């Protein structure tokens, strides 16, 4: 195995990750090393060096894994939901036991700082707790029938195998959001993770295998590490994947939506974000500065909820910019496994290229860099300075999502102007406003205010809790995951009417014969 230090090798050994890892699994004792699979190397973005190799699954291996999951569905859906909840409870406990090494692996393979890596595992634990309670609900409504001595109600049934396609930036948590809910709903899952972060997926599968083995189960949690054109595309066209939950870019998400809809499958789409914070004249600038800093710099700007735009009232724009520049200059950039680090590297060379392509467009479109914009090659190949760019208007580049630590600052005169700027982008994920005015806050949250799926007052755009439904509108896809009643997306609704009379009346008073 090629590892950077002995410490990293010990980490991988704790999680059961060998030199060359099979990229597909049907459950305990079910690892499959595809003889025709291509080897990929997982890279450490801090150094650009390889960590370990993974043998990707081909469509043939995908077929083996999907067939097993689909067969499992028939028995899993018959088990009482509270029993399914017990399995998810045990998964949460197993994640607690492995929280430290799993969190460190996220930092090693993806590059987010250690606090965020551990926070991501905590999200997995939290959603398991949420789902356990949910397993004793999954409620339907009872309605009054217009016909005498009839009872009408609805119930929810398991949907089928859920295909989960995740992105590199949350290599574990998004799987857990979907998996914990799907499992208590009676759906097995088949996971296709990002090929940028395959080791995290294999480590999580190892944990899930321990839980399934304890209960004599298999096929509830399954894995197929593979390319988008191979495994991903096969899943999209597979009618056994009753639901495909996709997290990624808007262009790819559009293709996912079209392919799955063509076969009348269901989708949950978590796509692009271009999240803004409006800062009003009466805002607490200390709070606003801290929220903007974490939102824009956290995870090196590689969150779907990262703060991309700050829309600030003209009278305080200069002061806020000065505060932000000062705060940015204090950000410790370096090895994400060092507890003093506040920002790690971008995930790969393509991400660096995209960032500097965006910086060129900023300059061409009249923007001014207030701070940042350099490559930090002395730290590693994928390290960059975070950027603050003051923009004359919401130009084409500002309306795009660049997955990098670039923050655009725009001025506004009136709240109406601010809302027009805020809503004037194709994406609609997360949003926030900083104000001490109740009227302004309520206007922002009203039907005529923020058009995003998430709207916050006096907190930033990132850091959503699992208790609320997560997702956005417009080109963000319209999907919802995690809390509230997002569980309904993983089930099928059935309306039932029971006639306990000795007559056969028809609805709407129709008489026949």
- Nearest Cα to Cα of residue 195 among 223, 237, 162, 235: 223
What's the per-residue H, E or C state across 372-440? CCCECCCCCCCCECCEEEECCCCCCCCCCCCCCCEEEEEEECCHHHHHHHHHCCCEECEEEEECCCHHH
| Structure tokens given for 385 | 């300075």
Q: Are residues 132 and 176 in contact, defined by beta-carbon separation less than 8 angstroms?
A: no
Report the distance separating Cα 173 and Cα 30, nearest Å: 23
270 is catalytic: yes
Q: At what angle do helices 198-214 and 99-110 cross, to 10 degrees?
A: 160
DSSP per-residue codes, 215-243:
TT--SSEEEE---IIIIIHHHHT-TTEEE
Q: Are residues 120 and 469 in contact, defined by beta-carbon separation less than 8 angstroms?
A: no
State the first-to-last Cα distance of the chain, in angstroms, to the nearest integer: 79
Report the distance separating Cα 53 and Cα 388, nearest Å: 37
- SS3 label, residue 9: helix
Report the distance separating Cα 65 and Cα 491, nearest Å: 22
Beta-bridge mates of residue 195: none
User: Backbone phi, then psi, for 16, in 5-degree steps?
Assistant: 70, 35
| Structure tokens given for 215 | 């209960």
- Nearest Cα to Cα of residue 456 among 476, 477, 427, 435: 435
The alpha carbon of 15 is separated from its chain's Cα centroid by a whole number of angstroms, namely 23
User: Backbone phi, then psi, for 495, in 5-degree steps?
Assistant: -95, 130
Report the distance separating Cα 66 and Cα 46, nearest Å: 35
Helix (H) or strand (E) holding 84: helix 81-97
Report the distance separating Cα 189 and Cα 458, nearest Å: 37
- Nearest Cα to Cα of residue 109 among 173, 208, 41: 41
- How is residue 112 annotated by DSSP? -
For residue 26, CA distances in Å to 157, 217, 218, 304, 371 come to 24, 10, 7, 30, 49
Q: Looking at 116, 120, 123, 270, which residue is catalytic?
A: 270
Neighbours of 429 (CB within 10 A): 28
Q: Looking at 304, 401, 475, 481, which residue is catalytic?
A: 304
**Residues recognised as catalytic:** 270, 304
């Amino acid at each position: 195995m090629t590892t950077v230090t002995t410490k990293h090798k010990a980490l991988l050994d704790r999680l059961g990750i060998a030199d060359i890892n099979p990229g597909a699994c049907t459950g305990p004792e079910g690892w499959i090393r595809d003889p025709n699979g291509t080897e990929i190397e997982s890279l450490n973005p801090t150094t650009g060096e390889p960590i370990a190799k993974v043998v990707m699954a081909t469509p043939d291996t995908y077929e083996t894994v999907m067939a097993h999951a689909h067969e499992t569905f028939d028995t899993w859906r018959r088990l009482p939901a509270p029993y399914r909840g017990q399995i998810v409870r045990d998964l949460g406990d197993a994640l607690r036991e492995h929280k430290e090494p799993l969190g460190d692996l996220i930092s090693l393979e993806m590059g987010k700082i250690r606090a965020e890596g551990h926070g991501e595992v905590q999200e997995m634990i939290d959603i398991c707790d949420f789902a356990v309670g949910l397993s004793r609900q999954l409620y339907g409504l009872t309605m009054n029938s217009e016909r005498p001595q009839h009872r009408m109600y609805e119930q929810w049934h398991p949907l089928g195998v859920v295909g989960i396609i995740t992105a590199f930036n949350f290599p574990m948590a998004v799987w857990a959001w979907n998996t914990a809910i799907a499992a208590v709903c009676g759906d097995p899952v088949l996971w296709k993770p990002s090929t940028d972060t395959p080791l995290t997926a294999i480590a999580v599968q190892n944990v899930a295998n321990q839980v399934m083995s304890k209960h004599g189960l298999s096929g509830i949690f399954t894995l197929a590490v593979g390319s988008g054109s191979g495994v991903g595309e096969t899943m999209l066209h597979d009618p056994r994947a009753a639901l495909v939950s996709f997290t990624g870019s808007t262009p790819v998400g559009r293709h996912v939506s079209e392919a799955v809809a063509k076969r009348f499958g269901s989708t949950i789409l978590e796509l692009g974000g271009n999240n803004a914070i409006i800062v009003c004249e009466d805002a607490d600038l200390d709070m606003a500065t801290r929220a903007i800093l974490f939102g824009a710099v956290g995870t090196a700007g590689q969150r779907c909820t990262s703060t991309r735009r700050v829309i600030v009232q003209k009278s305080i724009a200069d002061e806020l910019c000065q505060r932000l520049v000062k705060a940015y200059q204090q950000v410790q950039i370096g090895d994400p496994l060092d507890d003093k680090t506040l920002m790690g590297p971008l995930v790969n060379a393509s991400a660096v290229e995209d960032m500097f392509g965006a910086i060129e467009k900023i300059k061409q479109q009249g923007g001014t860099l207030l701070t940042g914009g350099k490559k930090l090659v002395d730290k590693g190949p994928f390290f960059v300075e975070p950027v603050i760019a003051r923009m004359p208007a919401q130009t084409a580049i500002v309306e795009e999502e660049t997955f990098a630590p670039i923050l655009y600052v725009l001025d506004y005169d009136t709240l109406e102007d601010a809302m027009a700027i805020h809503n004037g982008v194709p994406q609609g994920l997360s949003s926030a406003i900083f104000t001490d005015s109740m009227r302004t806050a309520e206007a922002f949250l009203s039907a005529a205010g923020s058009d995003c799926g998430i709207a916050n007052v006096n907190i930033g755009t990132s850091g959503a809790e699992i208790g609320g439904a997560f997702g956005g509108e417009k080109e963000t896809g319209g999907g919802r995951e995690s809390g509230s009643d997002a569980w309904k997306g993983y089930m099928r609704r059935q309306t039932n009417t029971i006639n306990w009379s000795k007559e056969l009346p028809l609805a709407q008073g129709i008489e026949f014969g």
